[in-house]
């Protein structure tokens, strides 16, 4: 095989991935460009009476068909990014009077059609990626809050006045301090994916190192979240245990706290 044949294979394979669907008022061009959450971008073309062409996302971004739905009002950074993209790609938006769905669109003509399709595709791709990343961030925070709430409820019941939440040592805040015959500083660990999960452990490790020597250390880690992937997380937990002498207890084993703590 000559090496330039590879180019022809790739070109044919990728061009064959383009497809279309017909609607009463438009054609959907399903492109080969995809978003971080694995959706292929579609661009809709509508032909106006004066033969002008309109390119649009078909309301799919706002309707949530690419995943999470944007919330402009509450997300300052996202709002900033989306406005930047709207300006950069010279895209307009219009709200449907009955459904309230926002359509992003731009005018084009036959001469500019393919070039503008490419721009519109990149616009939709960038918008969806920005929304998705923002959404992931929020999921991480939400996950932390929920897990902390669950653990706190459990510990309050179990230890009552012997547990203090949001305890500060050397100006560093920990999730809790437990006063048994020994004093334990305690952090809770969770995450919506392995990366966030391990970052969370790393943050805890730094905090424990900063107060080294003064307290016994304990983490309760969430082994029921999808972010907990043992092969990826085990080395981090081992590091806590062996290097920093932190006791680690998984949430499924919470009943064993009594055996572990004195």
Partner 1 sequence: MATKSEIIRRNYDFYTEIIESEKTDQSCLYSLKEDRRYFYDQVSVINELDDNMQVHFRISRAYERKYNIHLSSENIFGSIPLIRFESSGPAHKNRGSDIINKKISTPHFHRFNQNGVEYAYHSERMKEDPDYADVLSRDFIEGVSHFYEEANIVCNGKIEVVGDMFIHQQYRESNMIFGGLSFQEKA
Torsion of CA 87, 92, 96, 100, to 10 degrees: 0
Task: Tell me if 244 contacts partner 1 by CB under 8 A.
Answer: no
Whole-angstrom Cα Rg for the chain: 26
Element (H, E) at 97: none
Nearer to partner 1, 103 or 147 (CB): 103
Task: Tell me if 71 contacts partner 1 by CB under 8 A.
Answer: no
Task: Tell me if 94 contacts partner 1 by CB under 8 A.
Answer: yes
Cα–Cα distance measured from residue 54 to residue 253, given in angstroms and rounded to the nearest whole number: 59
- In sequence order, the 6+-apart residues with CB closer than 8 A to the CB of 192 are 136, 139, 140, 143, 225, 226, 227
Task: Tell me if 58 contacts partner 1 by CB under 8 A.
Answer: yes
Task: Tell me if 167 contacts partner 1 by CB under 8 A.
Answer: no
Contact with partner 1 (CB under 8 A): which of 81, 82, 105, 198? 105
Task: Tell me if 54 contacts partner 1 by CB under 8 A.
Answer: yes
- In sequence order, the 6+-apart residues with CB closer than 8 A to the CB of 133 are 36
Name which of residues 126 to 155 contact partner 1 (CB under 8 A): 132, 136
Cα–Cα distance measured from residue 205 to residue 185, given in angstroms and rounded to the nearest whole number: 12
Give the number of residues in contact with partner 1, rule: CB under 8 A. 51
Q: Which stretch binds partner 1 (CB under 8 A): 20-28, 109-117, 146-154, 174-182?
A: 20-28
Contact with partner 1 (CB under 8 A): which of 4, 25, 76, 259? 25
Determine the angle formed by the axes of helices 113-159 and 76-88, rounding to 10 degrees.
Answer: 170
Q: Give the binding site for partner 1 (CB under 8 A).
A: 13, 17, 19, 21, 23-26, 28, 30, 32, 34, 36-42, 44, 46, 48, 54, 56, 58-60, 63-66, 92, 94, 96-101, 103, 105, 107, 132, 136, 193, 224-229
């Amino acid at each position: 095989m000559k090496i330039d044949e590879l180019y022809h294979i790739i070109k044919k394979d990728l061009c064959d991935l383009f497809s279309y669907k017909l609607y009463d008022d438009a054609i959907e061009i399903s492109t080969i460009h995809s978003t971080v959450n694995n959706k292929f971008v579609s661009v809709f073309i509508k032909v106006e009476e004066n033969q002008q062409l309109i390119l649009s996302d078909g309301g799919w971004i706002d309707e949530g068909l690419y995943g999470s739905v944007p919330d402009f009002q509450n997300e300052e950074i996202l709002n900033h990014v989306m406005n930047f993209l709207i300006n950069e790609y010279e895209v307009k938006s219009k709200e449907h009077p009955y459904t309230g769905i926002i359509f992003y669109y731009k005018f084009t003509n036959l001469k500019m059609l393919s070039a503008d399709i490419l721009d519109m595709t990149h616009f939709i791709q960038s918008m969806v990626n920005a929304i998705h990343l923002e959404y992931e961030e929020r999921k991480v925070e939400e996950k932390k809050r929920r897990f902390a709430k669950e653990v706190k409820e459990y510990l309050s019941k179990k230890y009552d006045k012997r547990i203090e939440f949001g305890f500060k040592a050397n100006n560093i805040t920990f999730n809790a301090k437990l006063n048994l015959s020994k004093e334990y500083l305690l952090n809770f660990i969770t995450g919506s994916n392995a990366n966030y999960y391990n970052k969370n452990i790393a943050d805890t490790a730094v905090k424990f190192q900063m107060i080294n020597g003064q307290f016994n250390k304990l983490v309760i880690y969430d082994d029921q979240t999808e972010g907990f992937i043992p092969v990826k997380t085990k080395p981090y937990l081992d590091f806590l245990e062996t290097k920093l002498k932190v006791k680690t207890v998984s949430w499924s084993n919470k009943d064993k706290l009594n055996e572990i703590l004195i």
